[in-house]
Structure formats: structure tokens, C-alpha cells
């Protein structure tokens, strides 16, 4: 689906209902309720260890790969439950792309990095693959920069280019939801700005959830914000609201103190 046609469809929401995650029976977070609005950017903020990354790993079901984990509660994507053993997680991750903190291109060519997920999902037609590679690189503003070096090793790219390639690799499967786990924190300030602008440009085309330690970034690009906190070493949700509410009219004393840099 092209980005222009995406603008005409309703993007899926994610409903997080009383979600708890346990590692080896110990809760990482408990009782999280968040409505993640379709086509908007929801920024997850909060101190280290309060469960933000673990929360993302429940949405994309990467948590299934960690032994001795247990989830309680529900996550619904466009109303459909996505937890449970019967869900085809490979197919789910076609709809929910993830971009990690450290740009992690595979150690082979730029072309193969982008062709790999397509082949994994059964797309083998060379013309279609080349069309989708060009489209996804254009979507992240990389096409002009690297169109003449598609067969060079992706590890030869700069840090910012690598991260944009990883975003292109997520976009190539045409997901509706994108999860970003501190996508700028390993980048220099200029590359960080380029990637941040790119994420902001995805608003209205994808449902975006971003974990960031950079409060200014959350304020700049978020539509909604969720402050995670810890009580007795267990993650909780201190507050969810519009970014305007979180930063200018917080309802919780914890949020007020965290935003002002007094706590956390």
C-alpha cells in the first residue's frame, strides 16, 4: 500500500488492557492500561528499568523468545487480541515493525538487507523486490544518498544512515504499527535530528510508539505520552495523556516532578 493511499485509511489502534509481564515469576511491570491511538505518535518515557522496552516486546511478541516469561492481560490490535499461543507471530510482525536503539543492519549488502524480509515473507519476484527497495529507501530519504551503492556492505554506512536503513527495512513489509526503542540514543546529534524528523514524518501514515529518554524529543514529536514509573522495583504507569497534558498540565505529582527533573 502506498503512503498516499495509507492517508485515506483508518490506522489501527492498540488497546493495552491491564497488562503485566513477569520474568521468572518476578513482575517487570503490572496493570498497564494505555489506549494507543491509530496514526498518532505515543511517546513512552520514564526512568531506567521501569519496563518500557519490555512493554514494547509484549506488543511485537519478541518476549516469546525469552524463556520463563509470563504475560497477563490483553493487547488488541484494531480490536483483535494479539496475545495467546495461536497467534502467528511472524505474520503479526509484518503488521508491527520494530526499530531498536542500536542500528542493527545485517552484515551483508544494503540490497540484501531490504530483500531479506521480503523473501522471508514469500515475495520472490525480482521486479517487485526492486520496486519495494526503491520505495522504502525513498520513504526514509536515503535513495539519493545510496542508490549507487546498493551492493555495498550495509556496515559501511554511517550510524544515521544505518538507522534509516533499519527503518526502511521495517517499512518494506508495509506495517501499520511501528515501535521505536530509543532509536536516536546511539546517534550523533545531527543524525539524531535527521532520524527524529523522519519519525515525525510518519505521523498519520503509521501508528507509532516510541520509547525515548529524551524528554525534549518526546515533547517535540509525541501526540500522546505515557510516563512509566517503578514502585518496589515493579513498573507501573504513572500517567497517560496528550503530550500537552503530560508536559504542561500533569495530573500526577510523579509526572510533575519527573518532567521538572526533580525525580527519576
Contact positions vs ligand ATP (CB under 6 A): 23, 28, 48-54, 66, 235
Which residue, 50 or 157, is less far from ligand ATP as judged by CB? 50
Nearest to ligand ATP of 115, 227 (CB atom): 227
CA dist 88 and 196 (Å) reads: 31
Residue 185 C-beta: closest distance to ligand ATP, Å:
9
- CB nearer ligand ATP, residue 23 or residue 116: 23
| CA–CA gap between residue 55 and residue 32 (Å, rounded) | 9
Contact present, 42 and 34 (Cβ < 8 Å): yes
The minimum distance between CB 192 and ligand ATP, in angstroms, equals 17
Instruction: Please say which residue, 23 or 108, places its beta carbon nearer to ligand ATP.
Output: 23
Using only C-alpha atoms, what is the Rg of the chain? 18
Nearest distance in Å: CB 89, ligand ATP: 17
CB of 23 to ligand ATP, least distance (A): 3
Cβ proximity to ligand ATP: between 25 and 86 the closer is: 25
The minimum distance between CB 36 and ligand ATP, in angstroms, equals 17
Amino acid at each position: 500500500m502506498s503512503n498516499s493511499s495509507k492517508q485515506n485509511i483508518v490506522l489501527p489502534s492498540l488497546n493495552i488492557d491491564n497488562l503485566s509481564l513477569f520474568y521468572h515469576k518476578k513482575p517487570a511491570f503490572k496493570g498497564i492500561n494505555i489506549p494507543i491511538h491509530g496514526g498518532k505518535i505515543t511517546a513512552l518515557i520514564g526512568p531506567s528499568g521501569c519496563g518500557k522496552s519490555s512493554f514494547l516486546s509484549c506488543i511485537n511478541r519478541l518476549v516469546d523468545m525469552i524463556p520463563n516469561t509470563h504475560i497477563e492481560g490483553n493487547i488488541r490490535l484494531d480490536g483483535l487480541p494479539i496475545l495467546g499461543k495461536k497467534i502467528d507471530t511472524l505474520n503479526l510482525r509484518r503488521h508491527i515493525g520494530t526499530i531498536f536503539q542500536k542500528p542493527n543492519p545485517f552484515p551483508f549488502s544494503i540490497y540484501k538487507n531490504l530483500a531479506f524480509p521480503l523473501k522471508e515473507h514469500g515475495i520472490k519476484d525480482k521486479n517487485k523486490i526492486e520496486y519495494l527497495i526503491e520505495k522504502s529507501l525513498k520513504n526514509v530519504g536515503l535513495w539519493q544518498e545510496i542508490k549507487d551503492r546498493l551492493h555495498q556492505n550495509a556496515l559501511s554506512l554511517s550510524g544515521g544512515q544505518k538507522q534509516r536503513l533499519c527503518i526502511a527495512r521495517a517499512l518494506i513489509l508495509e506495517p501499520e504499527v511501528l515501535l521505536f526503542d530509543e532509536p536516536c540514543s546511539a546517534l550523533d546529534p545531527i543524525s539524531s535530528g535527521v532520524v527524529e524528523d523522519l519519525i515525525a514524518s510518519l505521523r498519520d501514515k503509521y501508528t507509532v510508539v516510541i520509547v525515548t529518554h529524551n524528554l525534549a524529543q518526546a515533547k517535540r514529536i509525541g501526540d500522546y505520552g505515557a510516563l512509566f514509573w517503578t514502585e518496589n522495583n515493579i513498573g507501573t504507569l504513572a500517567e497517560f495523556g496528550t503530550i500537552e497534558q503530560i508536559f504542561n498540565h500533569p495530573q500526577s505529582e510523579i509526572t510533575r516532578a519527573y518532567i521538572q527533573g526533580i525525580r527519576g
